[in-house]
Chains A and B, each alone.
Chain A
């Protein structure tokens, strides 16, 4: 009996320091090195103040994390902060009452503090930010400097026309010219932004869930017709859907250039045994004279509703900490993701970071290029399924089982059926 009392007393004293702090649960999808940096952020935040204790939990990939968050919300066990990726934005933002907009949550919030290409993607149609962009990335062209020098090409292509001119030289030297890791993101969504093309009705889906997809357009069909030609001519390598398999082809010098994410920089620096550089995503001169900016990919942090006020205050406090120039600069340097605020960008510039590593700036330059009507992003429901439809149709183009026209028609039909379902689920 005495022993039990002692034990209970011991447990209670042990529990006191933890109870004095408010726990803030953060579910994220950052594995590997990125996960380690997330842990470092939590340690830094917890050391910076005594009121809150931030607890990051890795929940698997983007889809797994979203599913875990949804299941938890339905069971009223949701975390305070959840990381949701670009394709899931419509799912969480259209679920009114599932989250607290960061613009409401944080005191003195001013969206003008954020970089142009970052500001709108996770915002509503009035440009009010709902989610806080966290790992903000943009598609970039990585090129193997050694191979380009060997073949006698000065630099990476700025346009696809230039690419077409250099691809045969690379092929003659025994290399495939190009591979890329995410055709919906790079060759579809950002393709539209880069050329300032509308990709869906209702203001790219921002104004309403009653929306139709516009991927079945001439510029897209022209582009994919070309990609198919490149594939057949062995200028383009397709190593499957998986991100890493295509990146590996670049790392193993099978392909001279690879389209990946600005966030791939850190990983490439570790794995590539050659000198590589980063350049902006090429565009078609025949579609636009001057390229437009791209919008961010990656994911954002959302403050989930239904939590006590003191925990919400902690979420706001952490978001303020996370968006401070110092933390953004830290995240930018460690991972290659772009800093999301102008102040952080200025800090990195002032520190001379881009003079030391010019490649790290390419992503931001691209994101801050001139904006157009259709460069803010898109908001489309069941977009995970739509991406699946796109992957399927692109593979059909590649394998030759569909023509480009057939594939885009099928894509339009199936995507619109999904959008119609999503719209019905919201009303």
Chain B
């Protein structure tokens, strides 16, 4: 076999250069710094520094607070992902069937997309304020002994509710676009074959939406892991008893508030590996079931 040699032009490299530079500056370089710092134990001002092998990692992984945050993060991201995907899918399917005033419905449902997580958090915090919050009063009025300042389950409910509410509209937009991308002829053909709209949805529509769902799942897990920081920070701040502390929030608490640079670097490296692993799993196992 003779190798074919093509003339290389430098122009393609030029075109991808901006993207590469951005990745290097905003991802590779800081990530490298984090890995480097995670092996050092130093005072906050960087005046004394010592190489400590894996002490930062062992202090992290074996601490009760980190494990608590780890467990919460897993449960929290599962809940947020499935609830916001499920609700958005339901809303998208229903909104897609609406004929009169369709654009009004759709606009209203997309509304919350423009709201940043910290703003959603602040609004939620106000609504759940024990002194003036309407939702707080409502929860107690309908018989719950609701106290998110002290009860872990109630506090989790608050952060999940706000995180899902914020994310539903994003998912809704994608699902709606996905639904509209399904050819009419396929739907019409299926109506002839099957009377039950419920079955039609699960056998025809849902599989055709799979690429969208898969994409959204990846996006939503990342959202639940990282972007919900703004919601946690403006509502519970990890309370009560650390029950709503996510891993990202803990990195922030230890690194940015507590000035423990080595410890929080180790935590971010672990978090990075975790998300990396999760993404690999998603692409290796779940994507196989997706037909494009």
Contact of B59 (CB < 8 Å), options: A67, A239, A384, A417? A417
Task: Give the docked Cα–Cα distance between A14 and B59 (Å).
Answer: 56
Contact A63 B42 (CB under 8 A): no
Q: A248-B131, A401-B152, A425-B41 are in contact. Are A96 and B47 (CB under 8 A)?
A: yes
Which chain A residues lie closer than 8 Å to B15 at the CB level? none
Task: Give the docked Cα–Cα distance between A220 and B247 (Å).
Answer: 31
Q: Which residues 200-252 in B have Cβ within 8 Å of A in the complex?
A: 237-242
Residue on B nearest A62 in the bound complex, by CB: B257
Which chain B residues lie closer than 8 Å to A241 at the CB level? 149, 237, 239
CB distance from A16 to the nearest CB of B (A): 36
Contact A67 B45 (CB under 8 A): no
Contact A401 B241 (CB under 8 A): yes
Residue on B nearest A400 in the bound complex, by CB: B150
Contact A385 B45 (CB under 8 A): no
Contact A398 B256 (CB under 8 A): no
Task: Give the docked Cα–Cα distance between A206 and B266 (Å).
Answer: 29
Contact B52 A424 (CB under 8 A): yes
Q: CB of B278 within 8 A of chain A?
A: no
Contact of A67 (CB < 8 Å), options: B41, B52, B65, B259? B259
Q: CB of A426 within 8 A of chain B?
A: yes
Q: CB of B282 within 8 A of chain A?
A: no
Interface hit among A35-43, A264-272, A289-297, A389-397: A389-397
Contact B256 A391 (CB under 8 A): no
Q: CB of A200 within 8 A of chain B?
A: no
CB distance from B26 to the nearest CB of A (A): 17
- Chain B, interface size category, equals 35 or more
Contact of A240 (CB < 8 Å), options: B63, B64, B149, B241? B149
Q: Which residues 251-276 in B have Cβ within 8 Å of A in the complex?
A: 253-254, 256-260, 262-263
Which chain B residues lie closer than 8 Å to A248 at the CB level? 131
Contact A399 B151 (CB under 8 A): yes
Number of A-B pairs whose CB atoms are under 8 Å? Answer: 109
Q: A239-B149, A399-B241, A425-B262 are in contact. Are A245 and B130 (CB under 8 A)?
A: yes
User: Which of A66, A88, A92, A240 counts the most chain B CB atoms within 10 A?
Assistant: A240
The majority secondary structure among interface residues of chain B is: loop
Interface string of A232-254 (1 = CB under 8 A from B): 00000011110001001100101
Contact A239 B253 (CB under 8 A): no
Contact B59 A95 (CB under 8 A): no
Q: A240-B149, A399-B151 are in contact. Are A414 and B240 (CB under 8 A)?
A: no
Q: CB of A138 within 8 A of chain B?
A: no
Task: Give the docked Cα–Cα distance between A267 and B151 (Å).
Answer: 31
Q: A414-B64, A425-B41 are in contact. Are A254 and B239 (CB under 8 A)?
A: no
Contact A425 B42 (CB under 8 A): yes
Interface string of B71-90 (1 = CB under 8 A from A): 00000000000000000000
Q: CB of A313 within 8 A of chain B?
A: no
Q: A74-B45, A97-B47, A399-B240 are in contact. Are A67 and B64 (CB under 8 A)?
A: no
Contact of B47 (CB < 8 Å), options: A98, A249, A417? A98
Task: Give the docked Cα–Cα distance between A393 and B68 (Å).
Answer: 13
CB distance from B227 to the nearest CB of A (A): 20
Contact B241 A239 (CB under 8 A): no
Which chain B residues lie closer than 8 Å to A88 at the CB level? 259
Q: CB of A347 within 8 A of chain B?
A: no
CB distance from B129 to the nearest CB of A (A): 7
Task: Give the docked Cα–Cα distance between A409 and B237 (Å).
Answer: 24
Q: Can you name 6 A-B residue pairings with CB atoms under 8 Å?
A: A88-B259, A245-B131, A382-B260, A385-B253, A398-B240, A421-B260
Nearest 3 Cβ contacts at the A-B interface:
A395-B240, A95-B45, A240-B149
